[in-house]
Amino acid sequence: MSYTFDIYRRMLQGDWAPLYFPLEAPEQLAWYRYLSQAPEDAVKQVYAQFTLSETDPPSIQSLQAYLLERHRMPTFVEKKHTVQTPENISGETLLTQVLEHLSLSEEAVLEWYHWQDGEAGLHVELFARYPLEALSSAERRYHFFQCLLTEQRTAAQQPMLDHVHQTTSRKQARKYVQDNQRALLTYAELIKTLISETPLESLPSGAYTLPDIYFAILQSLKEMEGFLAQHFSPYLDPALPTINAGAHSSGRDQQLETLLASLQTAGIHVALLTILKKALIPRNTPGKFVNSISRRYQRQLRKALDAFVAQESVDQQALQRLLIRQNFNDPAFIAWCSSRLQEEITSVRDINERLQLLYRYRKVYRQLPLNTTPGYHPNQPTAHAQLLGWIEEEIAYLKQVGDIAEPALEASPRIKTNLSVPELSLLIRAFFEVEVLPEQTKAHVYRQFSQIFDSVSQEGISVNTLRDHQYRPSRHTIASLKDKVIAMMNFLNQL
């Protein structure tokens, strides 16, 4: 067994096993003597949300704080919030309230910023140093193991680079790298055994319990494996498996695939399915307190989606509303929703119609009943707030350019069709599937059809009604349209 990873070995097979560091230990700060360089403090990421009224000053509505590994602290320039800076509210005023609430001084703050969402909610996020004495027992133990893992990374990476570069024999270099590769796999199996002994339903809720530490060790092993692949790929044994940080939940992967298959059968957009699949796979990234909340959120979202697909009627707009209610504030989902809205807006030439479309969506989103539990990213604005903010910005922009004259469109009489609205919707979908209609924006095509055709049973077809009927056509609709297509084929055969 390679001793390059001596800290991993001692954490999994020796005297540094997490079980040997109980929360009731009287001399917890003495644990740090095991480190080559004991830290003076810990770093926490703090997120605060404020309530704002016309008469009272803003007050803290909710506040969350998470331990953060210092070397992973994001810089201010990496934060790209698509929200606006508060008007007539001093950021220093908000910061002072947070610091007073946490009993911290301004000198403890490393970075901070504030913003306002589309519903006039105020938010502050900061990164601050906390004295070790101020941490809870669970936080202190978790922070201690964070420091151990950081030391393992420092103690292993540069010496491995030096050893391989100084070795003149490729055979010896290959043996050295593969020994370490096997050691990582062995440690990963050990830690997965510990994780598997904890049922998924009883995984931690963010209290820095032992499973949180196990996940931290497993993710560190995965990152070290990535270091080997980046620097020593010619020497790795390709026959060996890779560490799968989510392998312990493989039994649930089939359930996830079944869920996604049900959504795909219902006609849900492939891009949205990809976003959901990525989000529903357990994330074991650094910042394990957030990960614990993430795992709990994933279970809640899975439960909501299972109930959703069991309904008789499943369509894309209903799924989108469900995800907003569940505060699925994944940036990829927000971008997808914004893109879909933008497509629908740009398919309309008249600015007033665009505004009416945005007003309708704003009304729908505002009336959604929301889940009050933490979202997919608990320290980020809600999906509801971000999408409403985007809609408000579009409305403001269109109002600004509303005075620009646009070419008038001549009103044309609508064409009557004997097809029902569901049949017409299915026919358009078939046009796309067999490439009668080339690759283009579907929202635009459905809007054009809604503006040109009137069904015998319905005048003034809604573009949303027309578009929604494509996803789950009834057997009657399929049979009726098939009869009409066969009649057209018989006509063509007679020519």
pLDDT per residue as tens digits for the range 150-191: 999 999 999 999 999 999 899 999 999 999 999 999 999 998
Query: Residue 56: its pLDDT value, please?
Result: 65
Q: How far is Cα 168 from Cα 165, in angstroms, rounded to an integer?
A: 8
Cβ atoms 122, 58 nearer than 8 A: yes
Query: Residue 254: its pLDDT value, please?
Result: 66
Q: Is the pLDDT of residue 79 over 80?
A: no
With bands split at pLDDT 50, 70 and 90, how would you rate the model's confidence at 75? very low
Query: Residue 142: its pLDDT value, please?
Result: 92
Cβ atoms 398, 351 nearer than 8 A: yes
CA distances (Å), origin 242, targets 59, 181, 231, 245, 404? 49, 9, 16, 9, 59
Verdict on whether the full-model pTM lies above 0.75? no
How many CB atoms neighbour CB 217 within 10 A?
24
C-alpha closest to that of 2 among 172, 147, 164, 178? 178
Query: What residue type is assigned to position 10 of the chain?
Result: R
Query: Residue 293: its pLDDT value, please?
Result: 54
- Comparing 76 with 439, which gets the higher pLDDT? 439
Query: Residue 191: its pLDDT value, please?
Result: 87
Where residue 473 falls (left for φ over 0; alpha for ψ -120 to 50; beta otherwise) is beta
Query: Per the structure block, which two tokens stand in for 278?
Result: 């990525």
Query: Residue 127: its pLDDT value, please?
Result: 87
Lowest-pLDDT choice from 249-258, 316-325, 354-363, 452-461: 249-258
Q: Is the pLDDT of residue 376 over 80?
A: yes
Specify which of 8-12, 108-112, 271-275 reaches the highest per-range mean pLDDT.
Answer: 8-12
CA atoms within 13 A on the CB side of 83: 28
How many CB atoms neighbour CB 341 within 10 A?
18
- Comparing 110 with 207, which gets the higher pLDDT? 110
Sign of CA dihedral 86, 90, 91, 94: negative
- pLDDT tens by residue, 245-269: 554 444 445 677 778 888 877 778 8
Query: Residue 74: its pLDDT value, please?
Result: 53
Average pLDDT over residues 313-331: 86
Query: Residue 173: its pLDDT value, please?
Result: 93
- pLDDT tens by residue, 197-256: 654 444 444 568 887 888 889 889 998 999 999 999 999 999 999 887 554 444 445 677
Query: Per the structure block, which two tokens stand in for 87?
Result: 């008007």
With bands split at pLDDT 50, 70 and 90, how would you rate the model's confidence at 287? very low
Average pLDDT over residues 271-276: 84
Q: Is the pLDDT of residue 51 over 70?
A: yes
> Which run of H or of E encompasses 274?
helix 270-280
End-to-end CA distance of the chain: 81
Q: How far is Cα 288 from Cα 215, in angstroms, rounded to an integer?
A: 7
Q: Is the pLDDT of residue 46 over 70?
A: yes
Q: How far is Cα 492 from Cα 264, in angstroms, rounded to an integer?
A: 35
Q: Cα 10 to the chain's mean position, in Å?
A: 35
CA distances (Å), origin 438, targets 199, 349, 428? 50, 22, 12
Spell out the long-range contacts of 135-138 with Cβ–Cβ below 8 A and sequence spacing 24 or more: 135/42, 136/208, 137/23, 137/24, 137/28, 138/23, 138/207, 138/208, 138/209
What ranges do the domains of the chain cover? 6-34+136-245, 41-134, 249-400, 415-493
Burial of 257 (0-12, 13-18, 19+ CB in 10 A): exposed
- pLDDT tens by residue, 118-142: 555 678 888 899 999 989 898 999 9
The chain-wide mean pLDDT, for the chain, equals 79
How many CB atoms neighbour CB 240 within 10 A?
12
The residue whose two tokens read 């995984």 is: 203
